[in-house]
Structure 1
Amino acid sequence: MYRTIIIEDEQRIREALSIILEMVASDQIQIIAYAESVEEAVKLIDRLKPDLVFMDIVLQNGTGFDVLQQISFNSFHLIFTTAYEQHAVSAFKYSAIDYLLKPIDPEELKTAIERISLLQERVLEKHQLNELQHNLSKTPDRIILPTQEAMYVVKLDQILRCETSGSYTTFFLIDGRKIMVSKPLKNYEDLLEPPLFFRIHQSHLINLNSIVSYSREGMVHMSDKSVVPISRSKKEQFFNLMKDN
């Protein structure tokens, strides 16, 4: 059972989330407290030491970030809840922080809890929060790549190409580093898109600025001396994109 605190300043949303949690995860979730304000949230987290926290970004007298900066206990899973806004959604994805859109969808909530069950006890990294705040304030230019060893903050223009194999994706960086994450390429495709990136093949996504040459036969030579195939279904789109550029 995950001892859970819901931090949300709108009563109807607190009640709705509680009802949905009872519907989809009654055997996994035990709600131990609710909070509406920053001060109340800080006190409850430090006193009750929950396993899981659902937290809205905008609270009474402050934000969820204020809560996270003031707490002394931070060994819990965190899921932000947020109203729909495409820029904010992208910011969460770039920062590798879990989130749910309001109104809460039961299936998405169930999936989020299932993701947590696959993780070991986790402390939210401060640089993840810094990146989220950075990405919320402007167009994201960095992405967090989580691995078993560390959280890597990578500038988008430093990604040379990505290659996927099953449920894993390897990021090849311009400086020669390779970072493997346990997520398929489709999870990143909507974050790494034209005009800088292009998914050229089912297994490959490339930085268009790192192309050295390409052939009509369907092969692209990259600046790291790798050769990437162009899938038949992507050829026309790729050649038109290169022509336009």
Structure 2
Amino acid sequence: MLKILIIDDEKDALEVLEWKLKTYITDVSITTCSSPKKALEIIPNINPNLVFLDVQMPEMNGFSFLEKLPERDFQLIFTTAFDEFALQAIKNDAVDYLLKPIDKEDLILAVEKARKNLQKNNLELKMDAMLYSMGTKSPKINISADGKIYFLEEDDVVMLQSDKSYTTIYLVTNKKIIVSKTLKEVEKKFQSRSFYRVHNSYLINLSHVKEYLKRDGGELILTNELTANVSRNKKNELIEKLQLNV
């Protein structure tokens, strides 16, 4: 079942898209919302797989809406009557950018692309889970990016940093790998005790911590002089993990 959320302040546009999805797309559960502020509240509860997001709305536009989400686990399709926002849509890792009135064939193709992305993500997680259960999990971490698959040694990864719908992986070689997934998604591949989420935006390899600076939650200096902020609610647990006497 594909769980869909439609966010659009125009009632007619909202109802027409809902009707088209129910008519032309099978196996869907649809929630509609005319307020982006309200949508921010309900997303954690309904956990949608796919969100149709209008670009221009009075409370906040679609791009401002995405900035309010620290992490994004859903596929995204923008809907708008204007075509000048396509580049911004691409930068926000949208599956598609549909112009109103939305064409039936374009809608079907966009939803199919979203389904394929979700299936690919689920297959990767299932394979990892199966290898763990069989006790044959590779010591290397496999990451898909740039049209290839990287096999990373755990010790070679210094830090992962979130940037909306992208995650940057920093290596000891100073190489950076940019993955078009949220940190929450990528984090599932870094489940060993060496890695710890110190902040919404940072997952760090504890073995690469060089210094801890005391301020607010704190700040870490890592290998390659990389830095990572520590949120206040993570401070005490981090101190225990690092066995610090502060």
TM-score class normalised by the smaller sequence: 0.3 to 0.5
Calculate the TM-score normalised by the size of structure 1: 0.45
